[in-house]
Amino acid sequence: LTPQDLAGETVLVTAGPTREEIDPVRFISNYSSGKMGFALARMARLRGARVILVSGPSALATPPGVERVDVVSADEMRDVVLARWEQVSIAIKAAAVADYRPARRSARKMKKEGREDLSLELEKNPDILAELGRLKGTRFLVGFAAETCDLLENARKKLQAKNLDLMVANDVTQERAGFDVDTNIVRLLQPDGTEEALPEMTKDEVARHILDRILALRRLA
Ligand code: PMT
């Protein structure tokens, strides 16, 4: 029997990519499938939490008992997360939010006739996690860092800049880790400098380790 050690908690998980529309038929996005975030939602629910899963476009089935809210863009994800924020005690941001979006969305499909090249002007999306870090209060806030170089240095910077309680550092260049696979290889970084490198394991197992660590750190706080 799974221990109900998250009973009484409301866990908000973000998952999947965001899509930033260029025109009615095109968008900017990334390779996130939602698997990591859905695993976290499933495991938190199995351990007794109320779980709100805010997901970008993903083909995955909703884990049983999980309240799912589908969003498309970073802006929508931000609105949904902030609207639920009052109810949340633990937030885990596994979503791969697009950092930029087209500065203008074309209402009609952009045509190629008479154009040999095309430049898109991009503007920055809101950094949802940084905003949550400012609104944290007594909540426990977990971020992910998807990196392709200088993993620990970059992940540590984000941990501090976004006022997180735990950072999951993910080198997405490693095989069987990162985007759209069932396994992951991550390091858990704490604000006090402590670090744990987890071996390759399924995303369900990674989720279990993250939840164990959250509970252990909360007990210390
Ligand atoms: O979905 P899968 O296919 O299973 O892949 C899993 C994963 C690789 C997407 C996941 O393990 C992961 O690393 N997620 C974080 C991806 C990411 O956007 O990393 P980042 O380093 O760009 O962002 C850092 C943190 O800030 C993340 O928690 C992100 O959710 C958050 N963020 C980023 C930008 C932004 N505008 N708003 C945010 O909230």
| Per-residue pLDDT at 76 | 98
Confidence at residue 60, expressed as pLDDT on a 0 to 100 scale: 98
pLDDT per residue as tens digits for the range 45-90: 999 999 999 999 999 999 999 999 999 999 999 999 999 999 999 9
Q: What is the mean pLDDT of the chain?
A: 97
In percent, how much of the chain has pLDDT > 70?
100
Q: Is 22 marked as a binding-site residue?
A: no
**Ligand 1: nearest atom to the Cα of 158:** 24
Report the C-alpha gap between 20 and 98 in whole angstroms.
7
> Does 206 score more than 80 pLDDT?
yes
Query: Could you tell me if 77 and 99 are in contact, meaning their C-beta atoms sit under 8 angstroms apart?
Result: no
Q: From ligand 1's centre to the CA of 221, what distance in Å?
A: 26
Give the pair of three-digit tokens for residue 108: 């009609």
Domains and CATH numbers, the chain: 10-101+122-220 (3.40.50.10300)
When pLDDT is cut at 50, 70 and 90, the band that residue 195 belongs to is very high
Ligand 1 binding pocket, CB closer than 6 Å = 16, 32-36, 74, 93-97, 99, 125, 127-129, 143-146, 158, 170, 172, 178-180
Q: Which residues are known catalytic residues? A: 30
Structure confidence at residue 201 as a pLDDT band (50, 70, 90): very high
95: exposed, middle or buried (C-beta count within 10 Å: 0-12, 13-18, 19+)? Answer: buried
- ipTM over 0.85? The verdict is yes
Global pTM reads 0.97
Q: Rounded distance, CA 17 to CA 55, Å? A: 8
Give tens-digit pLDDT for 115-158: 999 999 999 999 999 999 999 999 999 999 999 999 999 999 99
pLDDT of 109 reads: 95
Q: Is 126 annotated as a binding residue?
A: yes
Q: How far is CA 151 from the centre of its chain?
A: 17
Q: Distance, CA 38 to ligand 1 centroid (Å)?
A: 13
Q: How confident is the model at residue 220 (pLDDT cuts 50, 70, 90)?
A: confident
Please write the tens of the pLDDT for every residue from 178-187: 999 999 999 9
Residue 29 CA to residue 189 CA, distance in Å, equals: 27
| Pairing relationship of beta strands 140-147 and 166-171 according to DSSP bridges | parallel
